[in-house]
Amino acid sequence: MLEYVIRINKHNATDWPGESMTDTSKEAGVIMALEERFEKQRLPRLLSLKDKVDGGDVLDDPDIEFLEQVINDAMHSKPLMDRHPEWQSFCAYVVHLYEEITEKALQNEEKRPHPG
């Protein structure tokens, strides 16, 4: 599904009515850079974390810091994504993946024996 969403959004990335060519080009460039970073850096790490928690492991501090950075970046990018509804399905996918990881990590943490 993600590949389909990315392909559709690449096609629509420069087709925004009501914006000047300069604004459209700048935003298209920003979106393409965000997309590339997500595909090459964020998605592989998120999928690795999903595999980790699905295997029963808990998240360590670097994992949690990474997830915090993903959320902070998403909140920073939200105004841009709000102006481009063609990216909503992609954003929903990322939020869903984040929720799956954090919910499973919490379940794993709760199952883990604590000293004391």
Give yes or no for residue 8 having a pLDDT over 70. no
pLDDT at 116: 64
Mean pLDDT of the chain: 82
Give CA–CA dist 44/32, Å, rounded.
17
With 0-12 / 13-18 / 19 or more C-beta atoms within 10 angstroms meaning exposed / middle / buried, residue 59 is: buried
Model confidence, pTM: 0.74
